[in-house]
Amino acid sequence: MSRRSRKRGHAGRSGWLGKTALALIVIGMVAAAGLYAMVRGYLHSDAFRRFLSDKVSAAAKVSGEFKPFRWEGLAVDTPAFEATGEGLIKELRVEGLHTEVGVGGLRRGVWEMMGSQVQQLELSLDARNHAGTSAPKIEAKVRPRRETGERQRGWLPTEVELKGLDVRELVVRAVLKQGPASVTGMKIHVEPTGGKQAYRAEIGDGDIVLPFDLVPTIRLDHARLRYQDGRVFLTSANAAVWQDGRVEASGEWDSGAGVYSVEGNASGVKCDELFNETWAKRFIGEADTDFTLGNQDGALMARGRLMVRNGTLTALPVLDALAAYADTRRFRVLALTEAHTDWRYQDGEILLSDLVLASEGLVRLEGSIFIRGETLDGSFRLGLAPGTLAKIPGAETEVFSPGGRGLTWTPLRITGTLEDPKEDLTDRLVAAAGLRMFDIIPETGEKVVKYSRSLLGKSPAKVIDRGVEVIQENRDLIQEAAGVLDGLFGGGKRNRPDKPKEDR
């Protein structure tokens, strides 16, 4: 074969290969265009809207539907998704949804939702009978199309992957066993973090209101969470409470078991913000506390240790009484050098244990107290510096006794209510003074009785009644003392008219 013939044969083969490659490219482009057109046609159909409605409904365990979609290429907007449910979620409303559908997961049988944004997400929850209800899953199997009366093309994906979500405002209204709770104004960013069913979330802003009297509105600054396999982990959270208080916390929630636990600390809280109006005037200072709370035993329980800095006690009835007895004003405004307690909250009851209130070198109070609603029930030991009550006859021998820390000690019971606390020390001091009333001049005895009653807000009539009671209780002693005094002052029969024998 000649060289020219060989060249013509080679050129023919090259041309054939080139034409074949070009044809394949054109066929691929046409097929891709056709596939894109088919995918785009399905996405723009009402069938996809109902498919996505089913996916969200199954994930949140509700029954709902998206409003009509508005498409621009593969990007879609819808004004709202509205749903109702019979479980934990009673109502769900999504307003202003925008997302883009990615086709990169077609081979894996997945629709990819990218750049999803929600203007507002509203939730109404009822958790009273759903302590063990699992959290809604972001992925869920869609109902077979035969249930909806539609035909599903076999090559179309049946799963959805959320590649990211931004919620500009989260609003939650919840009913808990303890009462209503709410979340408003919260912003959330969610993105996958590797592995199936694993996401992390960044939360900012928002107010949280919980149904607990001791917990104020929580103004969230920032929080980080992680979700994986039905468990939610609160990595960190920072928030403001009251005026200048700060809270830091972390914890976790097992949605399957319905068990949660949170631990952290609160600092910079003013005591007058913690207490009711009456006690806010009596206790001044800044409180710091650590805390743990959870429902591992089936009911909410919180505990921690609280310390008060720069504390001052003012106008406490028992301190006012001591100030009167000791004839000093040091007890009326008491600067605390030590103030701390362990605390526990459960079933609406507060227990303050290992409580210590002390003013160095003057007074120390140790013990515990239950607060059930407004009712008080406390048992304490009260220590005073020796000589504090030296002017009260019998106080330091019959009421107080020497003990540790160089103080004299006596038991003390606190009862009554938060608005009207009662203590038993006054009665014991009055009784002790009454038994030795005539060891001192009468004027001093009258002063003790007067102070012990008037400082507790008793009316003059009640003061007189108590005085009569004291006299009656010690009538024999008083009669005997009267005879002694008569003899000492030379009285006898000289200053009294004789009485018939039968009257003696």
Tens place of pLDDT per residue across the chain (504 aa): 555 555 555 555 555 665 565 555 655 555 454 556 677 778 888 888 999 999 899 888 899 999 999 999 889 999 999 999 988 889 999 999 999 988 778 778 888 888 899 999 999 998 777 544 444 444 433 344 434 334 445 667 888 888 889 999 999 999 888 789 999 999 999 988 876 678 899 999 999 998 877 788 999 999 999 988 888 999 999 999 988 899 999 999 887 777 889 999 999 988 888 776 767 777 888 999 999 988 887 778 899 999 999 988 886 766 776 777 666 677 778 889 999 999 998 887 899 999 999 998 888 999 999 999 889 999 999 998 888 877 777 777 888 888 888 899 999 999 988 878 888 887 887 777 765 543 444 444 444 444 444 334 443 344 434 444 544 554 454 444 334 334 333 444 434 444 444 443
What is the reported pLDDT for 488? 35
Q: With CA atoms as reference, report the closest residue to 113 among 44, 155, 160.
A: 160
Contact 303, 323 (CB under 8 A): no
Residue type, 61: K
pTM: 0.69
Give the whole-angstrom CA distance, residue 451 versus residue 328: 12
Share in percent of the chain as helix, strand, coil (round to 5): 30, 45, 30
> Is there a contact between 234 and 217 (Cβ–Cβ < 8 Å)?
no
- pLDDT value of position 34: 52
- Distance CA(458)–CA(430), nearest Å, equals 14
Nearest alpha carbon to residue 53 among 86, 108, 92:
92
DSSP annotation of 252 reads: E
> Cα–Cα distances in Å, from 325 out to 39, 286, 349, 439, 454?
92, 30, 35, 16, 12
Residue 196's pLDDT is: 67
182's enclosing H/E stretch is strand 179-192
Q: Given this model, what pLDDT does residue 271 score?
A: 85
pLDDT for position 478: 41
Using DSSP's 3-state secondary structure scheme, residue 400 falls into coil
Q: Which pLDDT score, from 0 to 100, does residue 193 have?
A: 83
Distance in angstroms (rounded) separating the CA atoms of residues 230 and 294: 18
Nearest in space to 480 (alpha carbons), one of 448, 437, 433, 449:
437
CB within 8 Å of 30: residues ≥ 6 apart:
none
Torsion sign across C-alpha atoms 65, 71, 77, 79: negative
**What pLDDT is recorded for position 128?**
77
Structure tokens of 212? 């607990």
Q: Note the pLDDT of residue 438.
A: 39
Per-residue pLDDT at 442: 46
Structure tokens at 285: 């200072």
**Burial profile 299-337: b = 16 or more Cβ within 10 angstroms, e = fewer:** ebebbbebbbeebbbeebbbbbbbbbbbeeebbeebebe
Sign of the torsion angle spanned by Cα atoms 35, 38, 41, 43: negative
Q: Alpha-carbon distance 470 to 443, whole Å?
A: 16
The pLDDT of residue 15: 59
Helix and strand element counts for the chain (H, E): 9, 24
| CA 286/CA 291 separation, integer angstroms | 16
